[in-house]
Every structure is written in C-alpha cells, then in structure tokens.
Chains A and B, each alone.
Chain A
Amino acid sequence: MEDREIVKLYLRRDEQAIQESERKYSRYLRSIAGSILSDAEDTAECENDAYLAAWNSIPPQEPADLKTYLGKLTRRISIDRYRKRTAGKRGGGEYALSLDELEECVPSAADSPENVLEGAALSGILDAFLRTLPETKRIIFLRRYWYAEPVADIAARFGYKENRVRTMLFRIREELKEHLSKEGIWV
C-alpha cells in the first residue's frame, strides 16, 4: 500500500493503518531501534510504541514522508528508552560509541559561552551544515550518527576500509566543530 493511503487510514482513525505500517516498515524501524538499544525485547517494544505515537499524532500531523516520520519517532523513543536504561551509568552498544565520538565536536566554551542552543534551532544549524557536505560524506555521517550503524557496516556498504570511514568521520566531526564555533554555538 502506498504511504499516502496509509496516512489516510491514520487520518480516518482506521486501525489498519498500524497493520499496514508494520507490514511495510517493521524491518526498517527495528533496524533503527536495534542499533540504539541492542536488545530484541526493547527493540520490539519501541517499534510498537512508535506505531502508537504515530496513531496519537496523526492527525493533527499529516506526514508527507511516512517512512521517515516513523523512523524519527522510533529513534526518539529508542533514545529515550536508552537513557532511562542507562541512567546514572555509561551505556554500551553502538549508540553509546557514536555519542562518545560526537563529544569531540564540542566547541570551546570560550568561543561563545552565552549562546546556548538546542531544539529546533540546533536542528536547523545541523541541517544546514549537512547540506554543505558532499553526498557521500553526508550519508556516511548520518549512517553513523542518525542510524547508529557500526563503522564496519558502513565501510562494507561503500567498499571502503574501516580506517578510511573512521578518518572521514573524524574530519566531518572536525568540520562540524568548526561550523558550530563559527556560528557561535554552545549547546
């Protein structure tokens, strides 16, 4: 079934919307949650929570891109669960590793300590930064930090050696750090 039709089911409050979403996107959503949580039971629960969140948010939302909409819900819910699960201690798994890497992007507080930014404004800056990158670098960055995909898997996708991917990611993080500094951002 086309996404547009599935969204119409949500809008009509037809529960088949959830079945169709699951049939079409279960694998995709599980891959997102699985990378973050590394636990089958948690992954399945987050997937179900994502369908419920979609049910509760459409309407009033009417996503133009249902797949990404569900993907974002799943990622957010999975990250929330990850945080609850690891509260007070350092988490494990691929997502934790990717967070550790992102810590390197922190600009010097002296650059602009007053400009505390998060939420939509930060998303806008990240969005703008990503659009300055060549396509391959952008995809690699997002595979790593949006999808929390292991470096080895990314390397296999592109036919690169792992070291090459690590180097690319390192340079992109450096560019991001510089970009945030130039923007005068401190998050």
Chain B
Amino acid sequence: MKEQRFSEKISDGLNGIGDDLIREAEDKAPVAMKKKHPWVKWAALAAAVLLIATAVPFVFLLSGGFGAKNAGSARNEAEYADVADSEKSGMAAPTISGKIGHDGVPEAAEDAEMVAPAPGSLKYGEAEPGDVTFDDGGDGEDETPSDEISIAPGQLTAAAWDDNLHFIKWRELFAADEQGNGNGRFAGFLKDDWGMPTGRRIVVRVTKDGAPVAGAKVYAAPGELTVQAGSAVTDATGTAYLFPTVESGTVTAVSSGEGVSAAFSAETGELAIELAEAEEKQDVIELMYVIDVTGSMGDELAYIARELDDVVTKVLAANPGTKILVSLLCYRDDEDAEKFTYDDFTDVTNPENLAAVQRILRGKDASGGGDYPEAVDEALELAVSKNWTDGAATKLIFHVLDAPAHETEAHKARYAAAVKKAAERGIRICPVLSSGADTLTEYLSRTEAVLTGGTFVFLTDDSGIGEGHLDPSLPEATREYLNALMIRLINGYHTGTFADPVAWYESK
C-alpha cells in the first residue's frame, strides 16, 4: 500500500475534529460581498445633488417665498400625492402624519402638514443605497422633481428562528446557577425580572375530527380555580403555547360551543384536546407593523420601509380572495414630540388604500430617541389594544426595533402585560431585530416571539446595508431576503404550512 503523505494524514485528521468547528467555518464565514460598481456611487451622489438643486427652490416657491407663511393645511388628494412623491424623491423632509380610515380615504389628505426640507437632509442610505434605481416619475407639469431615487426591495437580508420549535435550545440560553451566574447567552437576565418567564411551557394541540382548529382560546388554570395562569389562541396548525405560572392544573380549550378541559402537568409539556365544535378559520390576515423610528434606526429604516411596502404588495398577490388589513404604529421615546403615530387597519385589497399605506411607509424617516431604550412597552400596549378582529383570523405584528424598553419596574410591568395580552388575543409578534441591537434587546425580542407563538427575525450583515448587526449565534437559521422571509412567515401563519427558507444568494 502506498505510504500516505504527511499532508494527507493531516487532511484525514481534520475530518475527525469537532462538528462545532466545521459548523463554525461554514456558518460564520462571511459571504463574499460583491463589489459595488463605482458608477453606482457616483450616479447616486449626482442624482442627490440634482434633487437638492431642484427641490429646494420648489419648496421655497411652494411656501410662498420670503416672509410667507405655510401654505395652509387643507389640501386635496392630488396635492397629497405630490407631497408623497417628493418624499419618495429622497428629500425626506415633507412629512405626513396621516391616518387611513376603514373607508379607504386617507385622512392625511385633509390634515397633512408641510415641513420645509432641510438642505442636505438626505437620509443615510439614500445617497449610497447599494442598488439604486432611477425612475422618471414626473410628468413635467407639476413642480415636483421629475427624477427620483427609489430603493429597490429585496436588498435587506435576515433570518428567522422559532424558539418554540427549538425549545431545548431556548432553555439552554438561560443555563445558570441560582445566583444567575452561568454560561447561557441570557443567563444574566435571570436576575432582572422582566415578568415574562418561559420556564414552564405546555404545547396544546386542538383538533376537531382530527383536523387542527385555528383560533381556539386556550387557557390554563390551577386545579378547579378559574384564575387563569396563562392564556393563548391556537394558530393555523391548531397549536397554542401556554406558559403557566403553576406546575399543574387544567387546560381548557374553547372555540364555538362548550369548552373541553384536560389536566396538564408542566413536566409532560404537551396536551391534545379534541373539540366537538369549532369556529371556522377566517380568510383574513391582519398585519400590523410596529416600528421604532428613532434616530438610531436611520441607517436602514428607508430600506426596511421599502421591504415592508413590498411585502404588502406580494402578500396580496399571493392570497387572492383573502381579506388583508394593514396598520402601522411608529414609536419613539418619552421626550420626543411625536412619540407615536398610528394608522389604523385598512383593507389593502382596495388599491387606493394600498397606495396610501405605501405612501406612508415610504415617507417614514428616523429621528428622536436620545438615550438607548425606547418606548417599546407603550408601543406594544398600544398595538395590542387596537381594533383587532375577534375570531379565527391571522393576526401578526412585525415589531421592527433596535433597542429595548426602559428598565424601570413600571416599564417592565407594562411590557409584560402587553405581550401577555397579545398572546391572549392570538396576536403573534414577530420581532425584526435591526442593526445596533444589544443582547438585552435580543432577549426581549425573542421572549415576545416565544410567548405569543411568533417568530424571531433578525437582520444580518449579508446585505452590507446598515451598521453592524448582532449575531444571535443561530447557525441553522438560513439567511434570506427580508421581504421573502416575511412573506413566507405571513403565508405560513395564515395557512399553517411554512415554506422552506431560500438563502438570499440562491434566490436571485
């Protein structure tokens, strides 16, 4: 037999090293970045300069010239559209704080306020967006800039992770001794009581004639007591996750008709309940975007907004006949003048409503904040209190954030209450962790998702957009395009069948 070369023995020896090392070299190796063509940068810069040169005189004239006051508040729909167009142009400054009613008429058309653009107020990312597209959006008759820079969707990359499907791994994150010292990623947070324990979990599967029942209310109670110790609503797969505060007791599931109870023990962790009657699942998707729009989001907010806009369009196309309602809640922090803006649920199967939602999304810009924590708890409290459908609709919140809630007892209590309320109402929260987030934000985000049966989503560095993104050390999570990922999740929650993720580098 031929004697092996030294290098061959080393090579063979490498096949026996730890699996974790091989996984690390596969999963943590950065993906090769494509170099941008220099002309893209220069073209974007040139376009930006052109826009400033064009738009500043325009706004000057619109505001009535020297000494003139604002051009009034009541404007017709055509004017509204003009403002929205100039917003899309990248000038950003004309902002509209609008509402969309259920009737489809944008209330912003009546009460929008103009704010003069600040020179050089191009948002980060728009002067060098990576892939910019140049559209000739003007007709030459109005006085809006005829050229615009728009950000193409399908650029941000992200990954999704359902901790409820990897619950053993989730628990390992808290590995620690009684003093809270340990090597688990979240062990340090055990000392801080955020009021959202996930230590005991019951997976409840509700069926009728063997088929999953969506929208069934499920709650746990200690023994015969009626005090609830965890409450949730089944998803399209008939599954609900309960996090009871007691070791054992009864779980009751109810859809239509009488509820059915069964004994539970946190040790077994799983329960199946067969109902005699059940409400039919509604072909309705309710989608709320809850977005942190403070200054720290400025590096990628324009891109995120573009993806969210694209998601609405594509979910509509993928679900003909489905009623799709979209709402938008943006938040900042206590000291900010505009702490919240809310645009109520609107039926985007109506093209006018869809256009209004898109205009609002594209007009969002990042400002305010100051300290690191933001009004996360209040935003979620507000979000879950809104006009969600009762019954077996698909209810989702995509919570885009890069910072945690404030850590006072009052803020923590409000946060926990809001998340529990979401679970009770069957609203699944899918946090979208953005650049600049820390481990506390990751912990809280993932907890939101775990408690409500949602999915944790995190933006990744693969896109090259935005500042550095936190790595939650989830090597099995496929890096996808954010818009494709969100569409996959929405359709998955609605139908109960989740498509497999497609890595971003394989999808184009």
Chain A residues within 8 Å of B, Cβ to Cβ: 1-3, 23-24, 27-28, 64-65, 67-69, 71-72, 75-76, 79, 83, 87, 98-103, 105-106, 118-120, 122-127, 130-131, 135, 138-139, 142-143, 145-147, 153-154, 156-159, 187
Contacts and interface: CB of A to CB of B under 8 A. Distances in A.
Contact of B18 (A23, A27, A127, A157): A127
Given A79-B12, A103-B6, A139-B29, 18 more contacts: A71-B26, A83-B8, A98-B11, A101-B7, A106-B7, A119-B13, A119-B16, A122-B9, A122-B12, A126-B16, A135-B24, A142-B14, A153-B32, A156-B32, A157-B29, A157-B30, A158-B30, A187-B13
Contacts of A98: 11
B19 interface: yes
B9 A187 contact: yes
Given A75-B15, A79-B12, A99 B22 contact: no
B456 to A, nearest CB: 16
B29 A143 contact: yes
A146 B25 contact: yes
29 contacts: A2-B165, A24-B500, A27-B506, A65-B20, A67-B26, A71-B26, A76-B12, A79-B12, A99-B7, A102-B10, A102-B11, A103-B5, A105-B6, A105-B10, A118-B13, A119-B13, A119-B16, A123-B14, A125-B13, A130-B21, A139-B24, A139-B25, A139-B29, A142-B14, A142-B21, A145-B14, A146-B14, A157-B31, A158-B30
A138 B21 contact: yes
A105 to B, nearest CB: 6
Contact of A87 (B2, B29, B31): B2
Contact of A28 (B20, B26, B32, B476): B26
Contacts, number: 122
B17 A123 contact: yes
Contacts of A103: 5-7
A157 B32 CA distance: 4
B102 interface: no
Contacts of B78: none
A102 B6 contact: yes
A166 B29 CA distance: 17
B23 interface: yes
Contacts of B11: 79, 98-99, 102, 145
Given A102-B11, A123-B16, A145-B14, A138 B30 contact: no
Which of B5, B14, B28, B32 has most A Cβ within 10 Å? B14
Interface of B: 2, 5-26, 28-33, 165, 476, 500, 506
Contacts of A100: 7
Contacts of A83: 8
B25 A65 contact: no
A82 to B, nearest CB: 10
Nearest to A104: B7
Contacts of B28: 135, 139
Given A100-B7, A139-B29, A157-B30, A123 B21 contact: no
